[in-house]
Amino acid sequence: MLVWSFKSFDKLKVQELYDLLKLRSDVFVVEQNCVYSDQDDKDQEAIHVLGYKRNRLLAYARILPIGSAEEKYAMIGRIVTRQTIRGTGVGKELVRKSIDYCQHTFNELNIKISAQSHLKNFYQQQGFTKKGDDYLEDGIPHCAMILSANG
């Protein structure tokens, strides 16, 4: 069972910041062999969703409030789980907790993600709908997906 927390940038402990940057780098840069700059100056305005088990970060996402990155949507991004726990339901729990946070804390029902295209079905199972054509982001196919209050 994971212990979940939601923290603004200024509330992150140094170790938590290190853990989240390392997990993102381990997966998005090393595992996916994608050289890109992860630090995009959005972490400071984000809510960080951290899932720990025995002092080890296993799951992470960041939430950008409406108006931060998108005018009409809250955004959930940098959704990542450690490779060793994939397929256990933790990813679904991470997405659900992130959606719930947006809905209850921001009172925001319209949420957007930039999903890696091969994960489209996973996000559709969480209620997201693909919008528009696929595009390349850092050399990896992505698609915009929306979870809308209007369905």
Band (69; pLDDT cuts 50, 70, 90): confident
Q: In Å, what is the CA distance from 15 to each residue of 21, 115, 118, 131? A: 10, 28, 32, 37
CATH code at position 121: 3.40.630.30
Band (54; pLDDT cuts 50, 70, 90): very high
| pTM score, whole prediction | 0.93
> Each residue of 22-51: pLDDT tens digit?
999 999 888 888 877 778 889 999 999 999
Domain range for 39 is 3-147
> Each residue of 120-151: pLDDT tens digit?
999 999 999 999 999 998 889 999 999 987 65
Strands 74-81 and 56-64, by their bridges, are: antiparallel
Q: How far apart are CA 145 and CA 119, in angstroms?
A: 11
Q: How many domains does the chain have?
A: 1
